[in-house]
Amino acid sequence: MAKKKINYVTKESSTGANYIMAFRPEDYDIFEYRINKPIAVKDPNDTSEFDMHFIVQETDEIKINSKHKLEYFIPNNIALLLSISDKALNRGLQIYKIYLNPDKPENDITKYIKDEQVGFLKEKSRHYCDYIEEIETAIVFAYTAVEAFANISIPDNYIYKSAEKDGILYEKKAIERWTSLAEKVSVILPEIYDVKSIKSKSFYNHFKLLEEYRNAIIHQKSVERADFFKLYFKGNINEICKSSESVIRFFYDAHKESNRINPLWPWLIGNEKDFPIIYDDLSNIQRKD
């Protein structure tokens, strides 16, 4: 039997959005890592040997004016944050490689005569500032991606007893506001996802540095001047920024094994066919081929 693709569903969702559908999971080809994952909808009444179900991709729209609207697949916030961080990191590393790398002869100030050195330093200072802008963008958005992931992972009815704060009980909103991200990642999320400690992973130390660097950016003190900029020139800045995806993947892989994929999680490279699953009666869905 030939498989038949479904182009779209005419039935609207509760938000007024339409659904774009593929007939089988293998028919779905990912075209953009920054949008929400599609959802596999299975009919609990379907007992056929083919295990027929749909992959559903939801759309939304923005009303631009009285005549026009913008329709789109819904972006995934965590994926956008990771994408912003990754692009900024790549731009920053490219700036360093071309203009700042001291191993390149053309970046050696001693090769210039004294009268040329001031102009050379002016040019290098501009590249220095460009590099810092990109790296700080990468740091802040990488950290924010993990923070967003941690917060959506906490169930609404979850209660956390903090050992660090004399056994104070925290509900979800209080956890989001008053608990450090390191505590969420190292204590709360392992409990929620029922996994072993993340602290034993090599990338966790890089994540701790990511949090340290981010806090230095957001909570700057006048006495520090700009000395923390110098940390961005260490050889591990790539691993520090990339630790955000490593943290998310750690919990993603652990949770995936129990087939409980959160539809709010981002796409990750290598997990293109991991779809969240819901069960719903599909008999009354109107389809256009």
> Mean pLDDT throughout 177-198?
90
Q: How far apart are CA 192 and CA 183, in angstroms?
A: 13
Whether residue 138 contacts residue 86, with contact meaning beta carbons closer than 8 Å, is answered with yes
The pLDDT mean for the chain works out to 81
End-to-end CA distance of the chain: 17
pTM to 2 decimal places = 0.82
pLDDT value, residue 6 = 43
Q: In which band, very low, low, confident or very high, does the pLDDT at 219 lie, cut at 50, 70 and 90?
A: confident
Q: How far apart are CA 287 and CA 258, in angstroms?
A: 32
pLDDT digits (tens, 9 = 90+) for 261-284: 667 778 776 666 677 666 655 554
Query: Pseudo-torsion of CA 23, 25, 30, 34, nearest 10°?
Result: 100
